[in-house]
Amino acid sequence: MGHEKGLTLLGGEPFILHVRRAMEGLIDEVIVSVAKDMAKTYAEALGEPFIIVEDEAPGLGPLGGIIPVLSSAKNRYVLFSPCDTPFLRPEICTLIVSGMHGADGVVPKTGKTHYEPLHGMYKKQPGLSAFAEVLSKGDGSPQSAFYKLDLSFIPEKKLREVDPELESFWNINTPKDLEFAERKLRAKH
């Protein structure tokens, strides 16, 4: 996109505000993971009630952001979503949270073998341990730690009951995607 994705405007608001709105009522704190040396930029743009944490080092993949969030979270469970999914539906968040029954985490599953680990919810301590171990071996993928965790998965059929087009998982990666998203947002209002 050529600039900080989380602060990209959609309908006049940064992506992150769209994502936060979908989680309202389900979370006690909002922690945003940003690249090294970007905390000040995000803090100035977002202000309260966001807690900003920086990745420890560049190039660590998704776990480079997940681990600092888990480390700084006050709560026992942490609900995640990427900042570039502004069409995240509150119903998807509710479904994920309600799937947490003593497991170490809940992860949506789209298709037979495609997981959405960045839209998951993880128990802080087991998640930290498993993800840190995988990252220490040079692997930044959350899925690589799945075998170390007792996870529940939400099947696509159940996800589609609350989000028929699975828009919640649509990442905006290009200016063309952003143009499409603007049209889609206008059509919804």
Q: What is the secondary structure of 112-138 as a DSSP string? A: TTEE-GGG-EEEHHHHHHHHHHHHHTT
**SS3 for 57?**
coil
- The mean pLDDT value for 42-68 works out to 88
**SS3 for 114?**
strand
- Give the pLDDT of residue 1: 67
- Give the pLDDT of residue 56: 79
Are residues 115 and 153 in contact, defined by beta-carbon separation less than 8 angstroms? Answer: yes
Q: What's the CATH class of domain 5-181?
A: alpha beta
Span 135-168, pLDDT tens digits: 999 999 999 999 999 999 999 999 999 999 999 9
Q: How far apart are CA 178 and CA 188, in angstroms?
A: 15
- Give the pLDDT of residue 82: 95
- Give the pLDDT of residue 74: 95
Are residues 91 and 161 in contact, defined by beta-carbon separation less than 8 angstroms? Answer: no
Identity of the highest mean pLDDT range in 31-35, 119-123, 185-189: 119-123
- Give the pLDDT of residue 118: 96
- 4 vs 104, residue with greater confidence: 104
Helix (H) or strand (E) holding 159: helix 156-162
Name the token pair of 25: 């009522």
Residue type, 157: K
